[in-house]
Amino acid sequence: MKKLLANDPKKGKQTYFHSDVDGNYVTTKFNVDPIISNAKSEAADWRPKSMIGNTQKHLQKIADIPAPIYYELIEKFGQPRDNPKAWKRWLNDYDNRFFRTTGGTI
């Protein structure tokens, strides 16, 4: 049995209750299409070496990660500043490239 518990069309989030022989559980679906679309447009605007020659210290945005996925990664890898290699590996993975807002590898 599958029953819709909550639907938030603004956030693109749906929560379902499931009941089967294995037991009861709740799942949440989150629509990431707008985030991926935005990341793709930012990646198309990105130009390599655009910060060369600029003497000011700037931070460059490298990805748009949906909040549910981000918090899942926090549990798995820890904070990005504490485990940058794992975060870079995840962002450079072929399946996750759609979240990146820059070209090349990170």
CA angle, 90 then 95 then 101, to 5°:
70
**One digit per residue, pLDDT tens: the chain, 106 residues?**
889 888 888 777 889 999 888 889 898 888 888 888 888 888 887 777 666 666 665 777 888 888 888 998 999 999 999 999 999 999 998 888 888 888 777 7
Closest CA to 30 of 10, 51, 45, 49: 10
Question: pTM value?
Answer: 0.67
Domain boundaries, the chain: 1-31, 32-106
